[in-house]
Chains A and B, each alone.
Chain A
Amino acid sequence: MSETTEVAATAQTGAVVSGASASLWSDAWRELCRRVTFWVAVVILFFMGLLAALPSLFTNLGPNGHCDVRQAKQRPASWNPFAAGEHPFGTDSHGCDYWAQMVHGTRAPIVVGFLVTGIALTLAIVLGSLSGYYGRLLDAFLSRVTDIFFGLPLLLGAVVILTAFPSHGMFTESFVLGLLWWPTMTRLMRGQVLSVRDADYVQAARMLGARDLRIMVRHILPNAIAPVFVYAMLNVGVVIGYEATLDYLGVGLQYPTVSWGLQLSQAQEIFTDYPYLLVYPGVFLTATVLSFLLLGDAVRDALDPRLR
Chain B
Amino acid sequence: MAEEILQVQGLTKHFPLTQGVLFQRQVGQVKAVDGVSFELRKGETLGLVGESGCGKSTLAKLLMGMERPTSGTVRFEGRDVFGLSRGELRRLRRRMQMVMQDPYTSLNPRMTVGDIVGEPFAVHGDPEGGRRTRVRELLEIVGLDPEHVNRYPHQFSGGQRQRIGIARALALRPDVIICDEPVSALDVSVQAQVMNLLADLQREFGLSYVFIAHDLAVVRHISDRVAVMYLGKIVEVGDEEQIYDHPTHPYTQALLSAVPVPDPARKGAEIVLEGDVPSPANPPSGCRFRTRCWKAEDICATDEPALEPRPGATAGDDAGSPHLSACHFATEKIVRG
Contact = CB atoms under 8 A, between A and B. Distances in A.
* A–B contact, 8 Å CB criterion (strictly below): yes
B143 interface: yes
A156 interface: no
A206 to B, nearest CB: 7
Category for how many chain A residues contact B: 20 to 34
Contacts of B204: 1, 4
A7 B162 CA distance: 14
Interface string A17-56: 1010111100000000000000000000000000000000
Interface string A218-247: 110011000000000000000000000000
B105 A7 contact: no
B123 interface: yes
Contacts of B66: 203, 206-207
Given A16-B160, A201-B106, A214 B123 contact: yes
A89 B18 CA distance: 67
B279 interface: no
Interface in A192-220: 199-201, 203-211, 214, 218-219
Determine which residue in B142, B143, B145, B172 has the highest number of CB atoms from chain A within 10 A of its CB, and name it: B143
B123 A207 contact: no
B163 interface: yes
A7 B196 contact: yes
Contacts of B160: 11, 14, 16-17
B124 to A, nearest CB: 7
A204 B106 contact: yes
B193 A7 contact: yes
Interface residues of B, number: 48
Contacts of B107: 201, 204
A229 to B, nearest CB: 14
Contact of B100 (A19, A23, A204): A204
Contacts of A12: 143-145
B254 to A, nearest CB: 32
A204 B100 CA distance: 8
B4 interface: no
B105 A200 contact: yes
A218 B98 contact: no
A200 B148 contact: no
What 5 A-B pairs are tightest by C-beta distance, nearest first? A11-B143, A209-B93, A209-B90, A200-B106, A8-B143
Interface of A: 1, 3-4, 7-12, 14, 16-17, 19, 21-24, 199-201, 203-211, 214, 218-219, 222-223
Given A11-B145, A208-B123, A218-B108, 10 more contacts: A4-B201, A4-B204, A7-B143, A16-B145, A16-B155, A204-B98, A205-B108, A209-B89, A209-B93, A209-B123
30 contacts: A4-B143, A4-B201, A4-B204, A7-B193, A8-B143, A11-B143, A11-B144, A11-B159, A11-B193, A16-B148, A17-B157, A17-B160, A19-B155, A23-B152, A200-B102, A201-B107, A201-B109, A204-B106, A204-B107, A205-B119, A207-B64, A207-B93, A208-B93, A208-B124, A208-B168, A208-B172, A209-B124, A210-B119, A214-B123, A218-B119
